[in-house]
Amino acid sequence: MPAVVIPRGPVDGERFALVAAGRAYLALGFVFLMLPIVTLIVFSFQRNQYASLPGQGWSLRWYVKLFQDDALLAALKNSLIVSPVAATAASVIGFFAAYATHRFVFPGRAALSILLVVPVLIPPLILGIAFLGLLSRLSLQGQLLGVILTHVVLVTAPATAIIQLRLAQMPPSLEEAAWNLGASEWQALVRVVVPFAAAGIAGGWLLAFTFSFDEFVISWFVSGFDPTLPVAIYSYLVGSADPSLNAIATLVFVLSSLVLLGAELLLMPFIVRARRPGRAAVA
């Protein structure tokens, strides 16, 4: 490649101004993005009954109140049953779906790949109504099992997408080598493919968990008298907002930060992969 000399002055004032403006905008954007989160965390530790400035001093009273609030705790417990189960089911289905569309050619493969992604495009409002119809016929309405089944449909699509991304990075020779060495199909799957896709499966599980844990409308329609956490929070917000919500918010944010940390370690390599070629092939 011939060397190109880029004519640039010793001090490029325009460039400096643009970079400064860009970074200032970035800072403003981050204020907007972080404002609600910081607000909730700060006011969960403030004495104020109604969040307004100035604060009235630090206190843990909302946390104490939260742990005496049976309705919110029961809803949290429901969510901690629904989301892991739904995420696990979604990861298993998503893995088989990703593996089938990755390795095998079969009639209807293209249609299947599309159908697996479509639920993401359908607003949860519609999924909730659609599933309520069937669940009420099956008398599963108002049961956690109904919520779980519906959430699986919502979260399988993102889990599948993440696992597909990971499997696409697997060289076919890896599995073939296992067969050549005498492994059966299932042995190769369990000992080679699953370990290779582990990061994708874990990332898909986290994404599925987050979607399910945060999902509101479907649960509102389906969950009946066994609300999940977002539904319980909603009924508080429609009624009278109580600062113990700030406390549960902070706890949920701590949980989210852990999920976020896990996701950063597992998912980001896929998104920023284009910039670091060659890393992906290392199992």
Partner 1 sequence: MADAALACGAVAEPARGPWALRAVSIAVPVAYTAAFFLVPLAFFVVLGFWRVQDYQVVPGFSLENYRDIAGHILAQSNYGIAIVQSFYVSATTALCAVAFCYPLVLAIVYTVPGRLQRLVLLFAVAPFWTSYILRVFAWQILLARRGIINTAAASLGWDWMEQGWLNTQVATRIGLVHYLAPVLVIILYVSVSSIDRTLIEAARELGASRLQAFRRVIWPLSRVGITVSLSFATIIGFGDVLSGSLLGGGAGRSIVGAVPLFSNMIMSDYASSTNLPRTCALAMILVLILACILVAGLRAAERAQRAVA
Instruction: Tell me how crowded residue 79 is: count the other CB atoms within 10 A of its CB.
Output: 24
The minimum distance between CB 33 and partner 1, in angstroms, equals 5
Which lies closer to partner 1 via its Cβ, residue 35 or residue 283? Answer: 35
Structural tokens at position 198: 């582990």
42: Cβ–Cβ under 8 A, 6 or more apart, which residues? Answer: 55
Which lies closer to partner 1 via its Cβ, residue 76 or residue 226? Answer: 76
- The answer to the question of residue 100 lying near partner 1 (CB under 8 A) is yes
DSSP β-bridge partners for residue 58: 46
Binding to partner 1 in span 60-89, by CB under 8 A = none
56-64, 70-78, 80-88, 92-100 -> range binding partner 1 (CB under 8 A): 92-100
How is residue 224 annotated by DSSP?
T
Among 31, 36, 71, 194, binds partner 1 (CB under 8 A): 36
Which lies closer to partner 1 via its Cβ, residue 183 or residue 280? Answer: 183
- The answer to the question of residue 4 lying near partner 1 (CB under 8 A) is yes
Among 3, 53, 110, 282, binds partner 1 (CB under 8 A): 53
Name the amino acid, one letter, at 65. K
* Binding footprint of partner 1, residue count (CB under 8 A): 102
The minimum distance between CB 49 and partner 1, in angstroms, equals 11
Binding to partner 1 in span 101-130, by CB under 8 A = 103-104, 106, 108, 112, 115-116, 118-119, 121-126, 129-130
184 vs 199: CA distance, rounded Å: 23
132 contacts 223 by C-beta, under 8 angstroms: no
Among 170, 188, 199, 202, binds partner 1 (CB under 8 A): 188
- Which residue carries 């029961």 as its tokens? 74
Structural tokens at position 40: 């909730």
Which lies closer to partner 1 via its Cβ, residue 73 or residue 129? Answer: 129
With vertex at residue 89, the alpha carbon angle to CA 85 and CA 93, rounded to the nearest 5 degrees, is 170
Binding to partner 1 in span 143-182, by CB under 8 A = 149, 152-153, 156, 160, 176, 178-182
Q: Of 168, 187, 169, whose CA–CA distance to 177 is shortest?
A: 187
Q: How far is CA 172 from CA 99, 188, 283, in A?
A: 12, 12, 13
The minimum distance between CB 10 and partner 1, in angstroms, equals 17
Chain-centroid distance of CA 130 in Å reads: 23
Binding to partner 1 in span 214-273, by CB under 8 A = 214, 216-217, 220-221, 230, 233-234, 237-238, 241, 245, 248-249, 252-253, 256-257, 259-260, 263-264, 268, 271-272
Q: Of 189, 113, 186, whose CA–CA distance to 156 is shortest?
A: 113
Among 2, 10, 11, 50, binds partner 1 (CB under 8 A): 50
Among 31, 60, 71, 134, binds partner 1 (CB under 8 A): 134
98 contacts 280 by C-beta, under 8 angstroms: no
How is residue 191 annotated by DSSP?
I
Which lies closer to partner 1 via its Cβ, residue 74 or residue 174? Answer: 174
103 contacts 185 by C-beta, under 8 angstroms: no
